[in-house]
């Protein structure tokens, strides 16, 4: 924002400039008119002067003749006053010798007036002295001189009139030009002043209009467009700067709110996702409950079979039924529950006993548990599906030498202690694509129905999901498999002891 003086200064300057332009034109036309009037006045100045002389002569002559004939003091006073006035008028006439006919005529007239006054005064003096001969002669002389002076006055006036007409004829032709030119001057001044006014209006109002547009945009919620570069008065510049700062502040606040809203939205979406996961967990539990109906019946039946075997002293069968019954009982409990690693290992030991019974020496099972890991909480029924998968898939093609190893221990990982439940086999392994698919599906909220093979039961996919759900994302499942050299599935759980 370039600042160009104060608004008040601009308005004062603009007004002053406009007034100056019009004032100059007005003063100029006044001056020109005055000069014209003065010039025209000159045309009559000479005649007025001469006319004064004529009137003085007439008045003085009247006084003189009145006094000489009546000897009245009133006439004498009048004569003295008029002759004094005449002398003053005559004193204005040219008395120098100049090479100009009009001036020479004036000089002659002045000489005649002087001669007249001398003769008139002589007549008055002689009248007082009662010298009839002298005042008669002097009066005659004065009258003749007055007559000649009047003749000269008329000659001068006639000449002046001719000169006046000549001068006026030249003057009149130019006066029209001057009037036209002065009118053009006034029009030009008004136009210039008007354009100056428009110019300064734009200069003053332009930035205000830009500011108003910007305010409109802001009112409609557009905070992005910055104020264009303006060259404005100081007051407007200050206002514009303040407005721009306000716009930037509002936009910054809006951006902050928007960012916060986005974070909150993300949080809400995350919460919704968790709610959805919870719902799915419940669905899974319901599904598991539904699937418990028949196993429950089976469990009761097995309990009856155990009692029968004991009654018949069939110990091995009784053990079998007991192990199976314990396993089923463990399995019928909700899968989303948190159990201790010890309980989970115990369940796996039952399952392994049953598998040994089934497969005999075909597979070698080993279970290693660190004592410290036993109290750690774990989702229930996560090891059995892994062992089942190892036997059912990994070692399915092996007729002998199949080995399954179950380990539970604590490890330091990335600066924290985690419980590791590990199931390894030396079976055929898993293709990499299969591992990726399983891990990907296990992390997804939505899992297609029937996404698991029938043989896997509550399979690897279900284990992965439940680990994630029960540990709130803190736990995870790693799968490593070297094609043909077995599979290692590791469940990493937060090392928190299960609360009893």
Q: Which range touches another protein (CB under 8 A), out of 100-108, 251-259, 466-474, 482-490? A: 100-108
| Alpha carbon 48 to chain centroid, angstroms | 78
Strand partners, 493: 419
Q: What are phi and psi of 414, to 5 degrees?
A: 50, 40
Answer for which of 7, 14, 18, 46 binds another protein (CB under 8 A) is: 46
Q: Which range touches another protein (CB under 8 A), out of 3-11, 17-25, 366-374, 451-459? A: 17-25
Closest CA to 409 of 389, 423, 430: 423
Closest CA to 405 of 369, 359, 362, 354: 369
Q: Say whether residue 43 binds another protein (CB under 8 A).
A: yes
Q: Say whether residue 22 binds another protein (CB under 8 A).
A: no
Cα distance from N-terminal residue to C-terminal residue, the chain: 73
Q: Which range touches another protein (CB under 8 A), out of 192-200, 244-252, 400-408, 461-469? A: 192-200
Strand partners, 404: 365, 425
Answer for which of 5, 115, 443, 494 binds another protein (CB under 8 A) is: 115
Closest CA to 116 of 85, 146, 155: 146
Q: Say whether residue 96 binds another protein (CB under 8 A).
A: yes
Under 8 Å between Cβ of 236 and 207: yes
Under 8 Å between Cβ of 109 and 152: yes
Closest CA to 460 of 488, 484, 482: 488
Of 104 and 372, the one with the shorter C-beta distance to another protein is 104
Q: What is the smallest separation between the CB atom of 253 and another protein, expressed in angstroms?
A: 40
Q: What are phi and psi of 287, to 5 degrees?
A: -60, -40
Of 206 and 451, the one with the shorter C-beta distance to another protein is 206
Of 38 and 260, the one with the shorter C-beta distance to another protein is 38
Of 154 and 436, the one with the shorter C-beta distance to another protein is 154
> Cα separation of 383 and 263, whole Å?
38
Answer for which of 1, 59, 80, 92 binds another protein (CB under 8 A) is: 92
> Cα separation of 95 and 79, whole Å?
24
Of 106 and 487, the one with the shorter C-beta distance to another protein is 106
Of 196 and 274, the one with the shorter C-beta distance to another protein is 196
Q: What are phi and psi of 424, to 5 degrees?
A: -120, 145
Q: Token pair of 467, please?
A: 């680990």
Q: Say whether residue 25 binds another protein (CB under 8 A).
A: yes
Q: Say whether residue 308 binds another protein (CB under 8 A).
A: no
* Segment 408 to 447, residues that bind another protein, using CB under 8 A: none
Closest CA to 306 of 290, 286, 282, 326: 326
Of 95 and 282, the one with the shorter C-beta distance to another protein is 95
Q: Say whether residue 204 binds another protein (CB under 8 A).
A: no
Answer for which of 80, 148, 372, 447 binds another protein (CB under 8 A) is: 148
Q: What is the smallest separation between the CB atom of 183 and another protein, expressed in angstroms?
A: 10
Q: What is the smallest separation between the CB atom of 126 and another protein, expressed in angstroms?
A: 19
Answer for which of 108, 131, 434, 474 binds another protein (CB under 8 A) is: 108
Q: Token pair of 98, please?
A: 């100049």
Of 103 and 338, the one with the shorter C-beta distance to another protein is 103
Alpha-carbon distance values, 362 to 292, 355, 358, 365, 384 (Å): 31, 10, 9, 10, 19
Of 76 and 105, the one with the shorter C-beta distance to another protein is 105
> Cα separation of 117 and 469, whole Å?
145
Of 40 and 277, the one with the shorter C-beta distance to another protein is 40
Q: Token pair of 23, please?
A: 């004032």
For residue 310, the SS3 value is helix
Sheet holding 402-413, edge to edge: 363-369, 402-413, 416-425, 487-494, 476-481
Answer for which of 61, 83, 89, 106 binds another protein (CB under 8 A) is: 106
Q: Which range touches another protein (CB under 8 A), out of 43-51, 305-313, 400-408, 461-469? A: 43-51
Q: Which range touches another protein (CB under 8 A), out of 142-150, 256-264, 281-289, 395-403? A: 142-150
> Cα separation of 319 and 353, whole Å?
10
Answer for which of 170, 228, 473, 483 binds another protein (CB under 8 A) is: 170
Q: Say whether residue 24 binds another protein (CB under 8 A).
A: yes
> Cα separation of 492 and 500, whole Å?
21
Q: Say whether residue 88 binds another protein (CB under 8 A).
A: no
Total of residues contacting another protein (CB under 8 A): 63
Under 8 Å between Cβ of 431 and 308: no
Residue 147, number of CB atoms within 10 A of its CB: 14
Of 27 and 267, the one with the shorter C-beta distance to another protein is 27
Residue 54, number of CB atoms within 10 A of its CB: 20
Q: Which range touches another protein (CB under 8 A), out of 183-191, 284-292, 327-335, 390-398? A: 183-191
Q: Say whether residue 209 binds another protein (CB under 8 A).
A: no
Beta strands in 8-94 (DSSP E): none
> Cα separation of 500 and 478, whole Å?
28
Interface residue list for another protein (CB under 8 A): 21, 24-25, 28, 32, 35-36, 39, 42-43, 45-46, 49, 92, 94, 96-112, 115, 144-145, 148, 151-152, 159-160, 163-164, 166-167, 170-171, 174-175, 177-178, 181-182, 184-185, 188-189, 191-192, 195-196, 198-199, 202
């Amino acid at each position: 924002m370039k600042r160009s003086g104060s608004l008040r200064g601009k308005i004062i300057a603009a007004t002053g400039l406009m007034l100056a332009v019009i004032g100059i034109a007005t003063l100029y036309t006044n001056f020109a008119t005055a000069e014209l009037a003065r010039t025209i006045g000159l045309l009559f100045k000479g005649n007025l002067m001469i006319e004064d002389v004529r009137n003085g002569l007439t008045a003085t002559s009247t006084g003189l003749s009145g006094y000489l004939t009546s000897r009245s003091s009133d006439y004498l006073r009048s004569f003295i006053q008029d002759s004094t006035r005449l002398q003053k008028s005559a004193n204005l006439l040219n008395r120098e010798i100049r090479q100009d006919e009009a001036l020479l005529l004036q000089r002659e007239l002045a000489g005649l007036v002087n001669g007249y006054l001398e003769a008139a005064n002589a007549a008055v003096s002689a009248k007082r002295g009662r010298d009839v001969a002298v005042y008669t002669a002097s009066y005659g002389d004065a009258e003749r001189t007055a007559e000649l002076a009047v003749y000269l006055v008329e000659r001068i006036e006639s000449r002046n009139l001719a000169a006046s007409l000549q001068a006026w004829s030249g003057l009149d032709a130019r006066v029209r030009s001057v009037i036209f030119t002065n009118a053009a001057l006034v029009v030009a001044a008004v136009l210039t002043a008007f354009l100056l006014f428009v110019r300064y209006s734009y200069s003053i109002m332009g930035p205000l209009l830009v500011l108003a547009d910007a305010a409109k945009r802001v009112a409609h919620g557009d905070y992005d467009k910055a104020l264009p570069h303006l060259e404005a008065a100081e007051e407007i510049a200050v206002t514009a700067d303040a407005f721009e700062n306000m716009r930037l502040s509002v936009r910054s606040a809006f951006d902050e709110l928007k960012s916060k809203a986005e974070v909150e939205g993300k949080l809400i979406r995350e919460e919704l996702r968790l709610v959805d996961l919870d719902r799915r967990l419940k669905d899974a539990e319901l599904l598991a409950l539904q699937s418990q109906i028949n196993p429950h019946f089976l469990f009761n039946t097995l309990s009856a079979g155990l009692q029968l075997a004991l009654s018949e002293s069939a110990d091995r069968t009784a053990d079998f039924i007991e192990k199976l019954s314990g396993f089923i009982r463990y399995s019928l409990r909700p899968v989303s529950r948190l159990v201790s690693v010890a309980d989970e290992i115990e369940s796996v030991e039952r399952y392994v006993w049953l598998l040994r019974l089934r497969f005999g020496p075909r597979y070698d099972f080993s279970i290693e548990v660190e004592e410290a890991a036993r109290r750690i909480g774990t989702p229930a029924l996560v090891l059995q599906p892994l062992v089942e998968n190892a036997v059912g898939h990994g070692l399915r093609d092996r007729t002998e030498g199949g080995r399954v190893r179950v380990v539970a221990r604590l490890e330091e990982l990335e600066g924290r202690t985690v419980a590791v439940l590990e199931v390894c086999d030396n079976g055929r392994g898993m293709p990499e694509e299969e591992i990726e698919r399983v891990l990907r599906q296990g992390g997804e909220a939505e899992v297609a129905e029937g996404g698991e093979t029938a043989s896997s039961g509550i399979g690897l996919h279900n284990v992965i999901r439940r680990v994630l759900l029960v540990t709130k994302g803190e736990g995870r499942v790693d799968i490593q498999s070297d094609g043909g050299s077995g599979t290692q599935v590791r469940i990493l759980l937060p090392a928190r002891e299960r609360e009893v």
